Amino acid sequence: MNHALDFEERKAGACQAKPIVIGDGVWLGGHVTVLGGVTIGEGAVIGAGAVVTHDIPPHTIAAGNPARVLREITEADRTGYIERLRARGAAVKA
């Protein structure tokens, strides 16, 4: 338990925050809560309102309270947006 209920214990330092790690390219929907000590892998998408209580693997979609992995993000999720930009001759960063 990381939450001391007694005020004097809290003042004395009984509660300590743990860092979170958010990988490159992660998309967090609105009002997402990430608890201390959690890592969200590169390219993951977290649905709005999710409460992330444990690590989320890279390139997955997670949602809910507590957040759970719904599925992996695959090539089938590509919309063709970058290809359409290239077809119009626009410069695109990879």
- Extended beta strands in 4-86, E state: 21-22, 27-28, 33-34, 39-40, 45-46, 51-52, 60-64, 67-72
Residue 59 bears catalytic tag: no
Using alpha carbons only, give the angle 17, 23, 28 rounded to the nearest 5 degrees.
80
Name the catalytic one among 3, 31, 54, 59.
3
Residue positions annotated with a catalytic role: 3
